[in-house]
Homo-oligomer: A and B are copies of this chain.
């Protein structure tokens, strides 16, 4: 067991611990000769500094927290990749926490983040979250917070999102242009800005085209377990939608399965477009038209902002609202009838 710490090195070289510490940190106070000796011994004995001792003294943990609703979702997986890629270059460590879409969990997690364990927090809030109290507390403790994708609107801090309103509009117009007259929007939350904004865009498009109110359905698929049933019910209803916009990736599979089960043809009977970063989109039956979010880039950008906030306390995160646009990738699932 390597109990080798600074004290051991000091002993061995007949130097003081402070000298060792400074030598290892390449301080100008130490002669090159001594530095060399210290470094050499350190590598020879496989000295590895204890990060917690250092954190305690320096009040910096070189660690960030990433709080997200779930990880079994391509969007979040890719975002983590983006975050990690930046953290790596900065020498930061990444703690992952999952809220499982529950506000109570999120609260507990964020409380812990006040402990000094992390220098900053990247968060995509749960679909239940309606209050920014916990995040305010973090900010009061000088812990920078950056939202990515799912933000809490009342909080003043940096956020990296995609052009949700516009994409809602684009998605709706896409359906309308392909002949839909009764499009429905499948949301997962009544409070998440990403959903609200996309819905606003959706509504605006229908408004403009003059689709009657009765034919503008917005459906809330809040519960994961009942989603499939709920979608089947919708597809069997009298005024069955002729177009569906899936607000998030996890709605896609139940929609497709329901259509297959009910012998409803995509795109002839109902056209489907989804907000998703699914890499199987092109090989689905039929290939799925997506609004593809730049998940990796969002993660990278959010992390970059967070580190700016961490490293320069003068940097004002509150005005940083970055929008990275998504792109519509048209495939078979929304092909117009011919």
A residues with CB within 8 A of B = 1-2, 46, 48-53, 55-56, 61, 63, 70-74, 77-78, 80-81, 84, 88, 93-98, 111-112, 114-117, 137, 140-142, 252-253, 256-257, 260, 278-280, 282-287
Contacts and interface: CB of A to CB of B under 8 A. Distances in A.
Nearest to A74: B72
Contacts of A95: 63, 93-96
Given A56-B50, A280-B252, A71 B77 contact: yes
A329 B79 CA distance: 30
Contacts of A286: 285
A88 B278 CA distance: 28
This protein's copies in its complex: 2
Nearest to A332: B285
Contacts of A84: 71, 96-98
Contacts of A278: 280
Contact of A142 (B1, B94, B117): B1
A248 to B, nearest CB: 13
B1 A117 contact: no
Contacts of A94: 95-97
Given A80-B71, A253-B279, A287-B285, A52 B61 contact: yes
Contacts of A115: 48-51
- Please name the 6 residue pairs, one residue from A and one from B, whose CB atoms are nearest each other, closest first: A285-B285, A256-B283, A52-B52, A72-B77, A280-B280, A48-B115
Contact of A70 (B81, B116, B279): B81
Contacts of A284: 280, 283-285
Best-buried of A115, A141, A284 by chain B (most CB within 10 Å): A115
Contacts of A81: 70-72, 98
A253 B74 CA distance: 14
6 contacts: A52-B117, A70-B81, A95-B96, A253-B282, A257-B283, A283-B285
Contact of A71 (B71, B93, B114): B71
Contacts of A74: 72
A145 B293 CA distance: 37
Contacts of A93: 95, 117
B50 A116 contact: yes
Nearest to A91: B112
A93 B112 CA distance: 10
A1 B140 contact: yes
B283 A51 contact: no
Contacts of A116: 50-52
Contacts of A63: 95
Contacts of A283: 252-253, 256-257, 260, 284-285
Contacts of A117: 51-52, 93
Contacts of A88: 98
A262 to B, nearest CB: 14
